Structure 1
Amino acid sequence: MVNATLAPETTERAAHDDPAVGIRGRDRHRRRQVAVAYLFLAPTLLFFAVFLVLPLGFALLLSMSRWSGFALGDIDPVGLDNFTGLFADGSTFLAPILTNTLLFALGTVALALAGSVLVATCIDKLRFQGLWRTLYFLPIVTTVVAVGNVWKYMYEPGGLVNGVLNALGLGSVAFLADPDTALPSVVVVQAWASVGSAILVLTAGLKSVPESYYEAAALDGAGPVTVFFRITLPLLRPSLLFVCVTQFLTGLQSFALISVMTKGGPGDATNVAALEMYRQAFSYGDWGTASAAAFVLFMVVLVVTLAQLWFFRRKGEDA
């Protein structure tokens, strides 16, 4: 009777002391944890599968097909013809469309970055900083259509900008009607509209710079310019990286502002990749070319982003 009572305890103790049994138990516990984790992740994974993976796969299929956008049975595989057509002789995709896209993004980043650094530095030394940040952030919460239309009227021959030029004794400029000034004019608007978000990021970065650095620089007799280039800018590198990457991505994918202000004109002077994709798909019914252009733009965005990350990382290591 005593042996029968002790037998289960002895067996359980032996199983607990057996390494193989312990490993199998831990494996089962880990598998249960993974299964529960995937169960909780299932709604999110389903969402990404339906709205990201499937559209991406369909776009890849269309980029190697010819399709007018109606019946799925009309999809005609053409291999890489859509990609070669984008860069064939006589195609306007490489120049001026892709060139305009890069120039638009570069101009936006240069103006927005320079302006936001200057304004953020000034705000950091003023009172009521929250008020100033809010005022500069207002264009971000304003719809692109409203911003584009307001600036479009300001650029008119009788608009505010030409009115100021005339008051200064200068002649009127056809900002949006001249191919030489149309793209820079839209770049200015895009930079103005996006400078608010950059200011928020940079002012937060300025707050993280220890005051002891500035106190030590003042004791050494360093001037404001030296302090700015030797202390402020180097310590703002993470914030500058974030602003550069996000502004460049926004510039490369810009569509709505150009569509509202110039519709890509005059000619193709302000036509960019995103607008050309829209035209090919919805105006001309060439979904294959539009999808191929989308993948080319994706590669450009990827290369530019990786180049920016490499450049800032290399600069950080050199410092």
Structure 2
Amino acid sequence: MSGSEQQTMVALTGARAGTETTQRSRGLPIALRRERRAAWAFLTPALAFFAVFLVLPFGFAAVLAFSTWTGFDLSRIDFTGLHNFAEILSPRSTFVAPILVNTLLFAIGAVAMATVGAIIVAGCIDRLRFQGFWRAVYFLPVVATVVAIGNVWKMMYQPAGLINGLLNRLGVNSIGFLSDPDIALPSVAVVQAWASIGTAVLILTAGLKGIDQTYYEAAALDGAGTFSTFLQITLPLLRPSLLFVLITQFIGGLQSFALIIVMTTDGGPINSTNVAAFEMYQQAFKFGAWGTASAMAMVLFVIIFVITLIQLWIARLGGEETS
């Protein structure tokens, strides 16, 4: 092969290599663009649902919070500035006290009972056979309708109901669970905790399954007792699951109002069970004050957001201290 032929072959080989390199460099962005388009195609239905049923209603509620509207004609939305907020936060308003106070007490009580109960139940299930069956049993109240749960517990709370019947057999006088202003709110909070404990049990049992058993074996070799093992090993390693349970349960407790509607009469007796979500419902659908209801919703949103941030901060602070 002559020198000119060799130079020609080298040039052709170099051109082919350059072409292949160019094609590969061009093919990578094309593949990435295709993956990106596929990802957006799969995300579009969820994003559309999120925009239509969450973002748009939230934006509309934010507009109504600074306006007055009777709920029928969109052309009659009148901007009033901070009037709605000044009205619901004024000293003469019942929104701060007792409504917001009832809401916080209701959420704290329900979350505390549900979380403690879920930890105990999850710990017991983790030691039993047929764990899937027991998890399903405790999850049943979650899939039941709130109306059915509220009516069943309402009958159980009656003066001639099951609970008072058992108390009477023990020599205790009947208790007005839903008629006594001092007991009505805790009584409904018990039902809220009972109805929501199933989700917490599922999450906490999954968290317990994720704990390495070698920690417990080492603790047993060191002679640690059951309670100290629970405090020193189970709770710290269960912190992520507990954080998720506390946040979701607290948000659900602050937003709960269906049980109030079913089990009480307009948040009674004497407004003792009236909570923020129920008051919003009444202002909007009963009195037609959509601006007032939206302002209450914005205030409740800020409270939920701040409480969630505080919970995350406390959890992160605890994680840093124990690390």
Shift of 1:293: 0.6
Report the RMSD for the aligned CA atoms in angstroms: 2.7
For residue 256 of structure 1, report the CA deviation from its aligned partner: 0.7
Cα deviation code 1:92-129 (max 9, x no counterpart): 00011111111111001110111111111111112222
Distance 1:36 1:233, change over 3 A: closer
Aligned residue type for 1:196: G
In structure 2, relative to structure 1, the CA distance for the partners of 1:229 and 1:27 (3 Å cut) is closer
- C-alpha distance in 2, partners of 1:196/1:106? 18
- Matched with 2:236 is 234
- Of residues 63, 71, 74 in structure 1, which corresponds to 2:73? 71
Query: Which runs of 5 or more structure 1 residues have no equivalent in the other structure?
Result: 1-5
* Structure 1 residue 45: Cα displacement: 3.5
1:308 aligns with 2:311: yes
Q: Distance in 1 between matches of 2:261 and 2:233?
A: 41
Identical aligned residues as a percent: 62
Q: Distance in 2 between matches of 1:49 and 1:133?
A: 34
SS of match in other structure, 1:174: coil
1:289 aligned partner: 292
Counterpart CA distance in 2 for 1:82 and 1:139 is 38
2:105 aligned partner, one-letter code:
L
| Corresponding residue to 2:208 among 206, 209, 234 | 206
Tell whether 2:275 aligns with 1:268. Answer: no
| Correspondence list, 1:210-229, <5 A | 210-229=212-231
The runs of at least 4 consecutive aligned structure 1 residues that moved more than 6 Å come to 12-17, 22-33
SS in 2 for 1:180: coil
| Pair 157,222 (structure 1): closer, same or farther in 2 beyond 3 Å | same
Query: Structure 1 residue 134 and structure 2 residue 136: aligned?
Result: yes
Number of residue pairs aligned between Structure 1 and Structure 2: 313
The secondary structure found in structure 2 opposite 1:228 is helix
TM-score (normalizing by structure 1): 0.89
| 1:185 match | 187
- Once the 2 structures are TM-superposed, how far is the Cα of residue 37 of structure 1 from its aligned partner? 5.0
How far did 1:51 drift?
2.4
Note the 1:82-97 alignment, pairs <5 A: 82-97=84-99
Could you tell me how far apart the structure 1 residues matched to 2:119 and 2:39 are? 43
2:166 aligned partner, one-letter code:
V
Superposed CA deviations along residues 53-97 of structure 1, whole A, max 9, x for unmatched, are 222221111111111111112111100100111111210000111
1:195 maps onto 2:197 in alignment: yes
Q: Per-residue deviation at 1:44? A: 3.8
User: CA shift at 1:49, angstroms?
Assistant: 2.9
